[in-house]
Amino acid sequence: MNCNVAIVWMHDYLDGELPREDIAALKSHLASCPACRSRFELLQKTDAAAFQTLEAIKPAAGYDKKASEQLTQRIMQQLPKQQSKERNRFVRFIYRYPGVTAAAVFALVMLGSFFTMWEEDNKLIVAGEDLQQVVIEGNTVIVPEGAHLTGNLTVENGTADVQGKVDGNVTVIDGELNLASTGYIAGQSRTIDQALDWFWYKVTQTFGGSAR
Protein backbone atom coordinates (compact mmCIF):
# COMPACT_ATOMS: atom_id res chain seq x y z
CA MET A 1 0.00 0.00 0.00
CA ASN A 2 1.08 3.55 -0.78
CA CYS A 3 1.90 5.59 2.35
CA ASN A 4 -0.14 8.58 1.11
CA VAL A 5 -3.23 6.40 0.85
CA ALA A 6 -2.48 5.01 4.29
CA ILE A 7 -2.42 8.52 5.79
CA VAL A 8 -5.85 9.35 4.37
CA TRP A 9 -7.13 6.04 5.69
CA MET A 10 -5.68 6.78 9.14
CA HIS A 11 -7.80 9.91 9.33
CA ASP A 12 -10.85 8.09 8.04
CA TYR A 13 -10.26 5.47 10.68
CA LEU A 14 -10.04 8.07 13.43
CA ASP A 15 -13.26 9.63 12.12
CA GLY A 16 -14.87 6.21 12.32
CA GLU A 17 -15.51 6.21 8.61
CA LEU A 18 -13.18 3.52 7.33
CA PRO A 19 -14.91 0.34 6.06
CA ARG A 20 -14.04 -2.86 7.90
CA GLU A 21 -12.15 -4.53 5.04
CA ASP A 22 -10.00 -1.41 4.64
CA ILE A 23 -9.18 -1.43 8.35
CA ALA A 24 -7.52 -4.82 7.88
CA ALA A 25 -5.52 -3.52 4.93
CA LEU A 26 -4.45 -0.46 6.93
CA LYS A 27 -3.37 -2.63 9.84
CA SER A 28 -1.24 -4.86 7.69
CA HIS A 29 0.39 -1.78 6.16
CA LEU A 30 1.10 -0.30 9.60
CA ALA A 31 2.69 -3.57 10.64
CA SER A 32 5.15 -3.34 7.77
CA CYS A 33 5.85 0.43 7.71
CA PRO A 34 7.45 1.93 10.85
CA ALA A 35 7.10 5.55 9.62
CA CYS A 36 3.39 5.19 9.15
CA ARG A 37 3.08 3.33 12.43
CA SER A 38 4.65 6.13 14.46
CA ARG A 39 2.60 8.70 12.58
CA PHE A 40 -0.57 6.80 13.30
CA GLU A 41 0.30 6.51 16.99
CA LEU A 42 0.92 10.22 17.23
CA LEU A 43 -2.32 11.05 15.44
CA GLN A 44 -4.20 8.76 17.78
CA LYS A 45 -2.59 10.40 20.81
CA THR A 46 -3.34 13.87 19.46
CA ASP A 47 -6.93 12.94 18.86
CA ALA A 48 -7.38 11.49 22.32
CA ALA A 49 -5.62 14.42 24.00
CA ALA A 50 -7.64 17.01 22.13
CA PHE A 51 -10.83 15.17 22.95
CA GLN A 52 -9.89 14.95 26.61
CA THR A 53 -8.85 18.57 26.80
CA LEU A 54 -12.02 19.88 25.27
CA GLU A 55 -13.99 17.66 27.62
CA ALA A 56 -12.04 19.15 30.51
CA ILE A 57 -12.62 22.76 29.53
CA LYS A 58 -15.08 24.02 32.07
CA PRO A 59 -15.34 27.32 33.81
CA ALA A 60 -13.50 27.34 37.12
CA ALA A 61 -16.27 29.25 38.80
CA GLY A 62 -18.42 26.18 38.55
CA TYR A 63 -21.26 26.03 36.15
CA ASP A 64 -23.22 23.83 38.53
CA LYS A 65 -26.80 22.82 38.93
CA LYS A 66 -27.71 26.08 40.54
CA ALA A 67 -26.15 28.19 37.79
CA SER A 68 -27.87 26.01 35.24
CA GLU A 69 -31.25 26.49 36.89
CA GLN A 70 -30.75 30.24 37.07
CA LEU A 71 -29.96 30.29 33.38
CA THR A 72 -33.09 28.23 32.64
CA GLN A 73 -35.13 30.75 34.57
CA ARG A 74 -33.66 33.65 32.65
CA ILE A 75 -34.34 31.90 29.37
CA MET A 76 -37.96 31.22 30.22
CA GLN A 77 -38.49 34.75 31.49
CA GLN A 78 -37.20 36.43 28.37
CA LEU A 79 -39.64 34.59 26.12
CA PRO A 80 -42.12 36.94 24.52
CA LYS A 81 -45.67 36.64 25.84
CA GLN A 82 -48.10 34.49 23.95
CA GLN A 83 -50.53 37.30 23.31
CA SER A 84 -48.13 39.38 21.35
CA LYS A 85 -47.27 36.27 19.37
CA GLU A 86 -50.89 35.97 18.32
CA ARG A 87 -50.91 39.54 17.18
CA ASN A 88 -47.63 38.98 15.41
CA ARG A 89 -49.28 36.32 13.31
CA PHE A 90 -51.89 38.82 12.17
CA VAL A 91 -49.30 41.49 11.52
CA ARG A 92 -47.20 38.95 9.67
CA PHE A 93 -50.16 38.14 7.43
CA ILE A 94 -50.54 41.80 6.60
CA TYR A 95 -46.87 42.07 5.76
CA ARG A 96 -46.98 38.93 3.66
CA TYR A 97 -49.98 39.92 1.57
CA PRO A 98 -50.03 43.74 1.36
CA GLY A 99 -52.04 43.66 -1.88
CA VAL A 100 -54.77 41.47 -0.43
CA THR A 101 -54.93 43.63 2.67
CA ALA A 102 -55.24 46.85 0.69
CA ALA A 103 -57.91 45.31 -1.56
CA ALA A 104 -59.85 44.05 1.47
CA VAL A 105 -59.79 47.46 3.15
CA PHE A 106 -60.83 49.17 -0.09
CA ALA A 107 -63.69 46.74 -0.68
CA LEU A 108 -64.87 47.19 2.91
CA VAL A 109 -64.93 50.97 2.69
CA MET A 110 -66.63 50.98 -0.70
CA LEU A 111 -69.22 48.46 0.45
CA GLY A 112 -69.93 50.56 3.50
CA SER A 113 -70.51 53.73 1.54
CA PHE A 114 -72.48 51.81 -1.07
CA PHE A 115 -74.90 50.56 1.55
CA THR A 116 -75.31 53.91 3.28
CA MET A 117 -76.04 55.51 -0.07
CA TRP A 118 -78.43 52.72 -1.01
CA GLU A 119 -80.39 53.13 2.18
CA GLU A 120 -80.84 56.85 1.73
CA ASP A 121 -82.45 56.03 -1.54
CA ASN A 122 -86.12 56.12 -0.68
CA LYS A 123 -86.40 59.89 -0.55
CA LEU A 124 -86.92 62.11 -3.49
CA ILE A 125 -83.78 64.04 -4.18
CA VAL A 126 -83.54 66.85 -6.58
CA ALA A 127 -80.22 68.46 -7.41
CA GLY A 128 -79.31 71.14 -9.86
CA GLU A 129 -77.92 74.63 -10.27
CA ASP A 130 -81.17 76.40 -11.00
CA LEU A 131 -83.97 74.97 -8.91
CA GLN A 132 -86.16 78.04 -8.34
CA GLN A 133 -88.14 77.42 -11.48
CA VAL A 134 -88.69 73.72 -10.75
CA VAL A 135 -92.09 72.64 -9.40
CA ILE A 136 -92.35 69.55 -7.27
CA GLU A 137 -95.68 67.76 -7.03
CA GLY A 138 -95.56 64.65 -4.89
CA ASN A 139 -93.05 62.43 -6.60
CA THR A 140 -92.88 64.35 -9.79
CA VAL A 141 -90.42 67.08 -10.59
CA ILE A 142 -91.77 69.41 -13.20
CA VAL A 143 -89.89 71.85 -15.31
CA PRO A 144 -92.88 74.02 -16.29
CA GLU A 145 -93.54 75.10 -19.78
CA GLY A 146 -91.77 78.36 -20.57
CA ALA A 147 -89.19 77.83 -17.82
CA HIS A 148 -85.53 77.91 -18.82
CA LEU A 149 -83.09 76.05 -16.53
CA THR A 150 -79.46 76.94 -16.79
CA GLY A 151 -77.32 74.01 -15.73
CA ASN A 152 -77.97 70.37 -14.89
CA LEU A 153 -80.90 68.66 -13.25
CA THR A 154 -80.70 65.42 -11.30
CA VAL A 155 -83.72 63.61 -9.90
CA GLU A 156 -83.54 60.57 -7.67
CA ASN A 157 -86.53 58.34 -6.85
CA GLY A 158 -88.96 60.36 -8.81
CA THR A 159 -90.30 61.27 -12.19
CA ALA A 160 -88.88 64.15 -14.13
CA ASP A 161 -91.43 65.89 -16.31
CA VAL A 162 -89.64 68.25 -18.62
CA GLN A 163 -91.96 70.71 -20.33
CA GLY A 164 -89.59 73.64 -20.56
CA LYS A 165 -85.96 74.07 -21.61
CA VAL A 166 -82.91 72.67 -19.81
CA ASP A 167 -79.43 73.81 -20.86
CA GLY A 168 -77.47 71.05 -19.15
CA ASN A 169 -77.86 67.31 -18.61
CA VAL A 170 -80.90 65.67 -17.10
CA THR A 171 -80.24 62.54 -15.07
CA VAL A 172 -82.97 60.40 -13.53
CA ILE A 173 -82.14 57.67 -11.06
CA ASP A 174 -84.71 55.01 -10.25
CA GLY A 175 -87.43 56.92 -11.90
CA GLU A 176 -88.83 58.05 -15.19
CA LEU A 177 -88.07 60.85 -17.56
CA ASN A 178 -90.97 62.35 -19.43
CA LEU A 179 -90.05 64.76 -22.13
CA ALA A 180 -93.02 66.81 -23.30
CA SER A 181 -93.25 68.01 -26.87
CA THR A 182 -92.57 71.52 -25.64
CA GLY A 183 -89.58 70.37 -23.61
CA TYR A 184 -86.02 70.65 -24.77
CA ILE A 185 -82.82 69.26 -23.20
CA ALA A 186 -79.59 70.72 -24.52
CA GLY A 187 -77.26 68.25 -22.79
CA GLN A 188 -77.56 64.50 -22.31
CA SER A 189 -80.58 62.89 -20.75
CA ARG A 190 -80.00 59.66 -18.84
CA THR A 191 -82.10 57.27 -16.89
CA ILE A 192 -80.34 55.02 -14.43
CA ASP A 193 -82.17 52.05 -12.99
CA GLN A 194 -79.85 49.20 -12.37
CA ALA A 195 -77.78 49.01 -9.22
CA LEU A 196 -74.52 48.62 -11.07
CA ASP A 197 -75.18 51.61 -13.26
CA TRP A 198 -76.19 53.55 -10.26
CA PHE A 199 -73.03 52.48 -8.43
CA TRP A 200 -70.86 53.46 -11.34
CA TYR A 201 -72.56 56.77 -11.56
CA LYS A 202 -71.90 57.39 -7.85
CA VAL A 203 -68.26 56.42 -8.18
CA THR A 204 -67.62 58.61 -11.19
CA GLN A 205 -69.47 61.46 -9.57
CA THR A 206 -67.56 61.11 -6.29
CA PHE A 207 -64.17 60.92 -7.95
CA GLY A 208 -65.02 63.45 -10.61
CA GLY A 209 -66.29 65.77 -7.92
CA SER A 210 -63.22 65.48 -5.75
CA ALA A 211 -60.94 65.86 -8.75
CA ARG A 212 -62.52 69.08 -9.72
Partner 1 sequence: MNVLEPRLAKLALKGDQQAFAELVDLYQDKLFHMAYRMLNSRQEAEDVVQDTFLRVYKNLDRYDDTLKFSTWIYRIATNLCIDRLRKRRPTYSLDAESNDHEGLDGYSMIPGDNRTPESEMLLSDTQRIIHAAIASLPPKYKTVMTLRYMQDLSLQEIGDVLEMPVTTIKTRVHRGREFLRKKLEHKL
Q: How far is the CB of 99 from partner 1 (least distance, A)?
A: 22
Nearer to partner 1, 8 or 127 (CB): 8
Q: How far is the CB of 158 from partner 1 (least distance, A)?
A: 60
Q: How far is the CB of 171 from partner 1 (least distance, A)?
A: 55
Nearer to partner 1, 57 or 196 (CB): 57
Nearer to partner 1, 60 or 211 (CB): 60
Nearer to partner 1, 80 or 208 (CB): 80
Residues that bind partner 1 (CB under 8 A): 8, 11, 14-17, 39, 42-43, 45-47, 49-61, 63, 68, 71-72, 74-76, 78-80, 82, 85
Nearer to partner 1, 39 or 165 (CB): 39
| Separation between Cα atoms, residue 114 and residue 110, nearest integer Å | 6
Give the angle subtended at the CA of 30 by the CAs of 26 and 33, to the nearest 5°: 130
Would you give the DSSP letter of residue 1? -
| Separation between Cα atoms, residue 188 and residue 26, nearest integer Å | 102
Q: Distances from the Cα of 94 to the Cαs of 39, 100, 101, in angstroms?
A: 63, 8, 6
Q: How far is the CB of 47 from partner 1 (least distance, A)?
A: 7
Is 133 in contact with 117 (CB distance < 8 Å)? no
Which residues in 75-89 are b (16+ Cβ under 10 Å) and which e? eeeeeeeeeeeeeee
Neighbours of 161 (CB within 10 A): 20
Q: Residue 74, Cα to own-chain centre: how many angstroms?
A: 36
Q: How far is the CB of 67 from partner 1 (least distance, A)?
A: 8
